[in-house]
Amino acid sequence: MKTFDVQSIEIDRPVKAVFDYVANPTNLPNWTNAFKSADHEKAELVTPAGAVPIALKTVAQPDAGTVDWFMTFPDGGAGTAYSRATANGEGKAIYSFVLMAPPVALEALEGALGEQMAILAKELQELKAVLEG
């Protein structure tokens, strides 16, 4: 059973601009469907049942180009997401994202991950549009 997915997109912006934008958690609502709001300590996730408050820790490593998120849900469950901005020649970047399966029951895992993979593909297109806009 697959428990992760890796997707990437080329963005016609310098790698530092991509990294700086993604590393700022307040930008998450601008390019993701999952976040209603976010800052350096907390966020509100959008769910079918409404917004859910979570703890959010963003770990950004400029020298490596990595931005990782650690989320803690009200029920104590945890989720993670990992990403990296990589230079791709002059003024271009590749942004890659490792999507981990959400913390759901095993029987729902494949469906949940499959749905999130499709959502991530759209979110990466949105990130590209925001940064290149």
Residue-wise pLDDT for 79-118, tens only, equals 899 999 999 999 999 999 999 887 655 444 445 778 889 9
d(CA 65, CA 53): 28
Give the model confidence (pLDDT) of 3-57 as tens digits: 899 999 999 999 999 999 999 999 999 999 889 999 999 999 887 778 889 999 9
* pTM (predicted TM-score): 0.89
Name the residue with tokens 């991509």. 18
